[in-house]
Structure 1
Amino acid sequence: MRIRPGQVAVVTGAANGIGRALVARLVAAGVKVVMADVEEACLRVAEVELQFFGGDVLAVPTDVTDLSEVERLLDRAIAHYGRVDLVINNAGVIGPKRPVWELEASDWRRTMGVNLDGVFNVIKVFVPELITRGRGHITNVSSVLGQSAVALMGDYSASKHAVVGLTESLRAELATRAPKVGVMLVCPGPVRTRLLEGENSLINVALSAEDVANQIVDAVDAGAERLVPNRFAVAV
């Protein structure tokens, strides 16, 4: 899908980090953006800042783990802008760093709820809208830990591995059902966001949220199917 002024994007996890940077990059390209995040206060601040500089954005507080809230997100997007062209599944969390057997069941459910169930909920609600329109694009943000694994992040890695499989299945399904609906998988390495707090050893190889956002938008515009933004940085 080529990124063009006047298109409408929905970005989850939009109040901070990569999501916030994605909204800024899309707004700079003339795209109208529906911003979704569970952190309402931060979301409202971001909305006001972007509108002050001329961005056409709409903040919709949303818990992606709740299917009814994701359905409301679509309703608000259609009511306000009349269409959706691009969906970026970016919301994510990292749980406490513990051996798998020491994780609390509540920690496991929270990580899976946001990182996997949230992606599923957005796909379930928004992909039928894109199919009906006959075109559009959905991007799912996984992680390099969706392609490998490290100690003390079993819940996070498992959730991100699942997003990789879910995305590849979605692409195969849409290839025959709606070939003009694109699907892209993004697997960032370390990124300088709140999720990297305390990881001093990774700071020197981490990209900025703005770097990653720029690469994602450029890759969507180029029709890429998979993006690993830190491919070179992580190897240093």
Structure 2
Amino acid sequence: MPTKPVHRAVITGGAKGIGLGIAKALADRGAALVIADIDAEAVACAVAELESLGARTHGVPCDVTDDDQLVVLADRAWDELGQVDLFFDNAGVMPALKPFLEWSLADADWVIDVNLRAAMHALQIFGRRMVAQTSPSRIVVTGSEHSTGTPHIMGGPYTASKQGILGLCDVVRRELPDHVGLSVLMPGVVQTSLAGSPAHRQKRYGGPLEESRGAMINFGPDADSFGAYAVERVMAGDDFIVSHPHIAKLIAERAELLEAAVSRAMPFDNPDQYDMRRPVERMFEQRKTANGGDDT
């Protein structure tokens, strides 16, 4: 009888919360794992827990805002696993909620750098290698219900970062070759330590806020249940993974406002001539042809 393939997975933000829930679900499926997190102590604890579940696990302390550390993480992943079938680009942070005009620039920079810029760089570093290895694989980037609309106020830069994730992935998915899939994970509220992320804020953004250490979001589904659900949908090949039914309201709310705005759009004799999708898609296909079918 043929054996089931062993998935080889890398998870940033993998030592706690949703990342660890995903790691546990993958461990249940026999995956070999590399987990990365800025909290080295949490990495060691997570490795021990995952190994107790029988998963071959390697831990890598990693600050995802440090470009060099992301490269080291990728090197370590391919050295330890041989290849990467699943990359969960999951690390994220969120400071205390407050009106945008009260946010410090340092906090805004921190949120954008971790949630968007670092996710972009990790997507490039791992994406290029996963394209080159030519075997079927999938990248999963953690967005949020904030990717789809405005679930609540007082989180402006966080919402901006998560909406940036959705827009970026909508583009990259169309550029990747067929053997590399791309999913966006868009959870609503989940019981995690996200509220405690300011305890690990780097010095260049103002340093740790010790009063946030150990802070938890204590309502919503638990991280292990959500991790199992997320992995199930990833294995099914879903491009968009949405957790909570109420997110449909966020999507509809924005769509209705935009559709009303389009009904008042400027008049043109031939409006289709300004639809940039066709000429840009032709340019992309021409680039691929000129590069021998490889435009990565």
1:185–1:28 Cα change, 3 Å: same
Whether the aligned pair in 2 keeps the contact of 1:51 and 1:57 (CA below 8 Å) is: yes
Report how far residue 195 of structure 1 moved: 2.5
SS at match of 1:110: helix
What do residues 23-64 of structure 1 show as CA deviations (whole Å, max 9, x unaligned)? 111011011010010000011111012213321110011111
Contact 1:207/1:233 (8 A) holds in 2: no
Alignment-derived partner of residue 78 in structure 1: 78
Aligned to 2:10: 10
Which residue identity lines up with residue 95 of structure 2 in the other structure? G
Counterparts of 1:174-193 in structure 2, within 5 Å, are: 174=176, 178-193=177-192
Secondary structure of the corresponding residue to residue 188 of structure 2: coil
Q: Secondary structure at the match of 1:58?
A: strand
Deviations 1:95-139 (A, max 9, x none): 221111111010001101110012111111000111111231000
Q: Residue 58 of structure 2 aligns to a residue in which SS? A: strand
Q: TM-score, normalised by structure 2?
A: 0.72
2:28 corresponds to: 28
Q: Distance in 1 between matches of 2:119 and 2:76?
A: 19
* Residue pair 1:95, 1:155 contacting (<8 A) in 2 also: no
Task: Tell me the TM-score normalised to structure 1 length.
Answer: 0.90
Distance 1:113 1:82, change over 3 A: same
Q: Does 1:210 align with 2:221?
A: no
Deviation readout 1:134-193 (Å, 9 max, x if unpaired): 23100011000111122110011010000010111110111xxx1110011111001011
1:145-224 matched pairs, under 5 angstroms: 145-149=146-150, 150-174=152-176, 178-195=177-194, 203=219, 206-224=220-238
Moved more, 23-32 or 45-54: 45-54
The structure, 1 or 2, with the larger RCO (C-alpha pairs under 8 Å, 6+ apart) is 1
Q: Give the number of aligned pairs.
A: 225
- How far apart in 2 are the matches of 1:225 and 1:15? 24
1:5 Cα offset (Å)? 3.9
Does the residue aligned with 1:91 lie in a helix, a strand or coil? Answer: coil
| Residue 227 of structure 1: aligned partner | 241
How far apart are 1:233 and its partner, in Å?
A: 9.1
Matches within 5 A, 1:123-138: 123-134=123-134, 135-138=136-139
Contact residue 96 and residue 107 of structure 1 kept, 8 A: no
The runs of 5 or more residues in structure 1 that have no matched partner are: none
State the distance in 2 between where 1:233 and 1:192 align: 17
Residue pair 2:7, 2:31 contacting (<8 A) in 1 also: yes
Conserved? CA contact 1:50–1:57, under 8 Å? yes
Native 8 Å contact 1:189 1:234 kept in 2: no
In 2: Cα distance, 1:113 partner to 1:48 partner = 30
1:131 alignment partner, SS class: helix
Shift of the alpha carbon at 1:214?
1.2
Aligned-partner SS, 1:230: coil
Identical pairs, percent = 31
For residues 181 and 19 of structure 1, what CA distance do their matches in structure 2 show?
21
Q: Secondary structure of the equivalent of 2:234? A: helix
Which 4+ runs in 1 deviate beyond 6 A? Answer: none
Cα distance between partner residues in 1 of 2:248 and 2:46: 30
Which has the higher mean CA deviation after the structures are superposed, 44-53 or 190-199?
Answer: 190-199
Q: Give RMSD over aligned pairs.
A: 1.8
Q: Is the 8 A contact 1:10 1:84 kept in 2?
A: yes
Q: Determine the C-alpha separation between the residues in 2 that align with 1:221 and 1:54.
A: 20
Structure 2 letter corresponding to 1:181: V
* CA distance, structure 2, for counterparts of residue 169 and residue 116 of structure 1: 15
